[in-house]
Structure 1
Amino acid sequence: MFGDLLKRLTEPQPGRLPDPDARLALTALLVRVARSDGDYAPDEIARIDRILVRRYGLSPFEAAHLRVEAEQLETEAPDNVRFTRAIKDAVPYEDRSAVIEALWAVVLADGVRDEDEDAMIRLVASLLGVNDRDSALARQRVQARR
């Protein structure tokens, strides 16, 4: 089912992903970060769905369907470096801080800031070309909305 997308993600120089594939890849990244502490909590799942509804204008049913597909993709997806490189190519720089905000929203959804999740966000932010300062500002914006 995801063979073509995974093939593109693992190419040495992945090209820009079409919007539906970029959406799926970004959602899989949200899932990957949520799973990074070994506890894929219901609060994190609900937060992912809300992010998808807001970001893409999906119905709750469509968001849940996209998340379920992304959960499958995440288990089959390549290492973080190639995975995020394809996302970096698909998401304009000015939109990447919104991606980092979404990642922080998922991490903070269960009320626990785990060091494995922190490490994953630091890695992903770096691979997406977002520096630590901008990632910290994104986290603070998310915390201020809670």
Structure 2
Amino acid sequence: MLEKLLARLHLADPPQTPMPPADAQHALGALLVRVAKADKTYLFSEIHEIDHLLADLYALNPVEAARMRAQCEKLEAAMPDTTDLAHILKAGIRETEKEAFVRALWAVARADGVRHASERQVVALASEALGMAPERAEALRETG
């Protein structure tokens, strides 16, 4: 009986989020998700910050940003290596954009109000793969 009701409401088969292309925009989004999940939690404050950053960086409205984040969540789950994501990002951005993207990673790490070593480690791996010196990445944490 419940199955029939769910089928009528079309809740039995929720729509699937498609796998996004492995481009720089989605790689950054996946890295933002990875930072948020690094401490084994994924809080609303982190999701809100990711949506806000994606909207600002790519001129998206709130619905488009949330849709992009959902795609990035799927990409993040499919790509276990943080450095692979960072290399995709590096290949598709200009040198002048690196600092803004590392600042975005730090913004998500700060979003829940708690500093976690696991989040710091993800940002360090990503910034290193982007070719940024660890000292510079740390300095961006303080200025972001």
Q: What is the TM-score of this pair, normalised by structure 1?
A: 0.81
> 2: distance between equivalents of 1:83 and 1:100?
13
* Equivalent position of 1:17 in the other structure: none
* Equivalent position of 1:18 in the other structure: none
Unaligned runs of 5+ in 2: 1-17
Shift of 1:98: 0.6
- 1:85 equivalent among 81, 84, 87: 87
Q: Does 1:67 align with 2:69?
A: yes
Shift of 1:72: 0.8
Matched to 2:121, the amino acid is A
> 1: distance between equivalents of 2:49 and 2:85?
22
Shift of 1:50: 0.6
> 2: distance between equivalents of 1:129 and 1:24?
19
Runs of 4+ in structure 1 displaced over 3 angstroms? none
Alignment map for 1:7-86 (pairs within 5 Å): 21-86=23-88
* Equivalent position of 2:13 in the other structure: none
2:82·2:122 contact (CA, 8 Å) conserved in 1?
A: no
1:35-54: CA deviation from partner (whole Å, max 9, x where unpaired): 11101111110000110111
> 2: distance between equivalents of 1:75 and 1:116?
17
**Alignment length (residue pairs):** 127
Shift of 1:78: 4.3
- 2:119 equivalent among 113, 117, 120: 117
Q: What is the TM-score of this pair, normalised by structure 2?
A: 0.82
Percent identity (aligned): 37
Root-mean-square deviation (Å):
1.5
- 1:2 equivalent among 19, 23, 26: 19
> 2: distance between equivalents of 1:133 and 1:81?
18
* Equivalent position of 1:140 in the other structure: 142
Shift of 1:82: 2.1
Q: Which moved more, 1:58-67 or 1:120-129?
A: 120-129
Unaligned runs of 5+ in 1: 7-20
Matched to 1:94, the amino acid is T
2:35·2:105 contact (CA, 8 Å) conserved in 1?
A: yes
Shift of 1:83: 2.0
Shift of 1:133: 1.9
Secondary structure, in 3 states, of the residue corresponding to 2:128?
A: helix
